[in-house]
């Protein structure tokens, strides 16, 4: 496992692609499951990772198996308190890692399906946002994600339900596994979200069927500003030029596999290609509790070690994160200046 350097540890950091439900660690999951009378297929905190490992087929990123295991964990969340507790645990971990800004995704349809009143859920998330700022000086923005394996109609209805909570949600995303032709299918929902002023992103997971077509269609048909993952872009030079010239941000996730202690090489190569081509690519954790690959510090360290990125490169990745964040120009300048000050101080310390 890559050592986390003082440089990585002390850098002011942010991430834009992390699922609230994917931060639910085994110890808290057991507490939540017990108070909701949910039985899990394991009774120890390590059970999540074991279950993920046992159902993996080889070294391939088997998204369907991964999501099935994630479902067993996230289906235990039945109350607004569960959302609050999970989010606060993640905030505390992030604070310990010198994270200053977070955009966190949550599966809003799942919360509703599981009986959490939407207003209570959003109020819990709002409280987390305020307490994170007050107690840890961490800025949080929430992204509501629609699930592609559920009917478009349900996504549209859920978008309407979010109207009274518009101010608490910065953007709309698409996640779960990629149904064929999902970009065209979800175009009306994303257009309606854009009309309401939401920022837009969509998952295009690594090495999925039709990855390149999906990435292209997310940009052209959905008009997204960011793609979550989107690493396969690296395999098509025309697409690379397109995302660079249109400044489409990619929220890369270098680690994903539970049994791995380093970033897998195909991901790292794609990240390297995109980084060298000048893409606005950032590094993120996605579902840290499920992967067992660590939170942001360990994720950055694993990617740096695997690709031989320099400390200066790591600063550029973090610049990309702040450049792709859904914040106003004043806040962006503030974060970038903070990052520059950190880099200058670190350079003086070693010279």
**Binding flag, residue 286, ligand ADE (CB under 6 A):** yes
Residue 165 interacts with which of ligand ADE, Zn ion, none, CB < 5 to 8 Å by class? none
Q: Give least dist CB 241 to Zn ion, A.
A: 25
178/286 with CB nearer Zn ion: 286
* CA distance between the termini of the chain: 28
Binds 22, which of Zn ion, ligand ADE, none (CB < 5 to 8 A, cut-off by type)?
A: ligand ADE
Q: From CA 67, how far away is CA 176, in angstroms rounded?
A: 7
Residue 86, interface with ligand ADE (CB under 6 A)?
Answer: no
What is the DSSP secondary structure assignment for residue 4, as one 8-state letter?
P
Q: Single out the residue of 176, 232, 299, 320 in contact with ligand ADE (rule: CB under 6 A).
A: 176
Which residue of the chain is nearest Zn ion when measured via CB?
Answer: 286
Contact between 15 and ligand ADE (CB under 6 A)? no
Q: Which is nearer to Zn ion, 30 or 48 (CB)?
A: 48
DSSP state of 106: E
Spatial distance between the Cα atoms of 167 and 155, rounded to a whole number of angstroms: 19
Q: 226 vs 343, which CB is nearer to Zn ion?
A: 226
Strand order in the sheet with 99-107: 13-15, 99-107, 139-147, 169-175, 199-204, 226-229, 249-252, 280-283
Q: Is 226 in the site for ligand ADE (CB under 6 A)?
A: no
Reported as type and span, the H/E element at residue 155 is: helix 152-161
- In the chain, at which residue ranges do the beta strands (DSSP E only) sit? 13-15, 99-107, 139-147, 169-175, 199-204, 226-229, 249-252, 280-283
Q: Which does 103 bind (CB under 5 to 8 A by kind): ligand ADE, Zn ion, none?
A: none
Q: How many residues bind ligand ADE (CB under 6 A)?
A: 9
DSSP designation for 234: G
Q: What is the DSSP letter of 166?
A: G
| Residue whose CB is less far from ligand ADE, 25 or 205 | 205
Closest residue to ligand ADE using C-beta atoms: 175
- Judged by the rule CB under 6 A, the positions of this chain that interact with ligand ADE are 19, 22, 70, 175-176, 203, 205, 286-287
């Amino acid at each position: 496992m890559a050592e986390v350097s003082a440089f990585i540890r002390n850098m002011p950091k942010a991430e834009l692609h992390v699922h609230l439900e994917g931060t639910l660690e085994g110890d808290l999951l057991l507490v939540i499951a017990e108070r909701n009378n949910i039985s899990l297929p394991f009774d120890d905190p390590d059970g999540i990772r074991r279950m993920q490992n046992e159902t993996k087929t080889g070294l391939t990123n088997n998204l369907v198996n991964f999501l099935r295991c994630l479902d067993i964990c996230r289906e235990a969340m039945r109350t607004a308190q569960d959302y609050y507790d999970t989010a606060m645990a993640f905030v505390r971990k992030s604070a310990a890692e010198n994270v200053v800004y977070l955009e966190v995704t949550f599966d809003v349809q799942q919360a509703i399906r599981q009986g959490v009143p939407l207003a209570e859920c959003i109020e819990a998330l709002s409280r987390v946002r305020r307490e994170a700022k007050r107690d840890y000086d961490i800025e949080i923005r929430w992204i509501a994600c629609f699930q592609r394996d559920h009917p478009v109609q349900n996504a549209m209805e859920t978008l309407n339900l979010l109207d009274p909570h518009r101010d608490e949600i910065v953007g709309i995303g698409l996640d779960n596994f990629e149904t064929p032709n999902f970009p065209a299918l979800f175009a009306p929902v994303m257009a309606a979200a854009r009309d309401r002023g939401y920022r837009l992103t969509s998952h295009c997971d690594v090495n999925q069927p039709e990855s390149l077509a999906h990435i292209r269609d997310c940009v052209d048909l959905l008009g997204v500003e960011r793609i979550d993952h989107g690493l396969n872009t690296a395999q098509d030079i025309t697409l690379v030029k397109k995302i660079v010239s249109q400044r489409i941000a990619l929220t890369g996730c270098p680690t994903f596999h539970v049994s791995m202690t380093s970033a897998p090489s195909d991901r790292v190569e794609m990240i390297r290609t995109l980084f060298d081509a000048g893409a606005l690519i950032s590094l993120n954790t996605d579902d840290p509790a499920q992967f067992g690959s660590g939170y942001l510090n360990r994720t950055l360290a694993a990617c740096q070690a695997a690709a031989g990125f320099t400390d200066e490169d790591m600063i550029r990745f973090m610049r990309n994160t702040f450049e792709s964040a859904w914040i106003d120009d004043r806040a962006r300048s503030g974060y970038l200046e903070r990052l520059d000050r950190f880099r200058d101080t670190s350079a003086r310390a070693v010279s």
